[in-house]
Amino acid sequence: MKRLVKEHVEFLQECRRTVQTTGAIGPSSRFLARTLARPFERHPGPARILEVGPGTGPVTRRILKLLKPGDHFDMVELNQTFVDVLNRRFKDDPDFKPHAGRVKIHHLPIQEFRSEAPYDFIVSGLPFTNFPPELVRDIFGVFFRLLAPDGVLTYFEYMYMRRLRQAVSVGADRSRLAQLDDVLSEHAQRHRIRRHSVLRNMPPAWVHELRHADQVAQHR
Ligand SMILES: C[S@@+](CC[C@H](N)C(=O)[O-])C[C@H]1O[C@@H](n2cnc3c(N)ncnc32)[C@H](O)[C@@H]1O
C-alpha cells in the first residue's frame, strides 16, 4: 500500500510538470499492466521485449515477473525524472532488484531509438491523445520497424477520452483530435487483432493489440 501511494505521488508530481508527455492522472493499475503484458505471458522461449514510456514502472513490474532466462528487456523513457525513479527501483525494490544488470533503460525519445535486432513484444505507455497526429504516425512507423515479423504490439488509451475531448475542444485542438482519430483508426483497421476493456483502472482503458498487416488475418 505504501509503495502504491509513493508511486502515485511521484507520478503526479511529474505529471504536473510535464502534462503533455506524461498524459495520465496516475500510474496504470495492476489490471491494466497485466493486460498490456498479456501477449508476453504466453511466450515459449527466449524473447526480446521493449517497453516504451515506462514512467514509474507499473507495467515494468509485470514484465519483470514474466521474464524467463535468455529474455532480453529494453526500456525507452523520455523523462529524466522517471529514468531516475526506475534506476532507484532496480537498486532497492524487491521486484526489480533481481533483474538489475540484465535490463537496459534508454533515456531518449522513441523516435530516436535504434536497435540492431527486432522485438517480439513491444508494450507502449505513450499518451497518444496528447500528441500531434504526425508524431503518432512517426511513432507507429518506428514501432513497426522495430517489431519482429510475427511480433505483437500493445498500447492503451483511456476509454472514450478521444471522443470526449473532441466534443469539448475547439479550434486547432479539435482539428488535431480529428486527424489523430484518422491516424489511430487507420492503424486499428490495418493492424489490430483485438481490443480488451480494462475497467479496473482510473480512468478505465482499452488495450489495443496490434500485429504486422500480413499477420492480422490469421490472428483475428
Ligand atoms: C501515460 S505515461 C505511462 C507511464 C506508465 N507506463 C504507466 O502505465 O503508468 C507516459 C510515459 O511515456 C513517456 N513518454 C512520452 N513521450 C515519449 C517518447 N516520445 N519516447 C519515450 N517515452 C515517452 C512519458 O515520459 C511517460 O513516462
Provide the β-strand partners of residue 157.
206
Which residues approach ligand 1 with their CB closer than 6 A? 21-24, 27-28, 52-55, 58-59, 76-79, 82, 109-110, 125-127
Q: Is the pLDDT of residue 58 over 90?
A: yes
> What one-character DSSP code corresponds to residue 57?
S
User: Which one has a higher pLDDT value, 113 or 15?
Assistant: 113
Q: Which three cell numbers stand for residue 66?
A: 514474466
- Residues pairing with 103 in the sheet: 73
Average pLDDT over residues 116-128: 97
Q: What is the mean pLDDT of the chain?
A: 93
Residues β-bridged to residue 147? 119
Which atom belonging to ligand 1 lies closest to the Cα atom of 53? 12
pLDDT band at 21 (very low <50, low <70, confident <90, very high): confident
Q: Which residues contact 210 (CB under 8 A, 6 or more apart)?
A: 152, 153, 154, 155, 187, 188, 191, 192, 193
Which atom of ligand 1 is nearest to 18's Cα?
Answer: 25
pLDDT of 100 > 90? The answer is yes
Q: Examine the pLDDT at 28 and tell me if it is beyond 80.
A: yes
- Report yes or no on whether pTM surpasses 0.85: yes
**Best mutation site among 21, 32, 161 for ligand 1 pocket (most ligand atoms within 8 Å of CB):** 21
- Please state the rounded mean pLDDT for residues 90-101: 96
Instruction: Examine the pLDDT at 15 and tell me if it is beyond 70.
Output: no
Distance between CA atoms of residues 15 and 45, nearest Å: 37
Distances in Å between the alpha carbon of 63 and those of 71, 96, 106, 121? 11, 10, 17, 11
Domains of the chain: 2-212 (3.40.50.150)
pLDDT at 95: 97
CA-proximal residue: ligand 1, atom 15 (nearest): 21
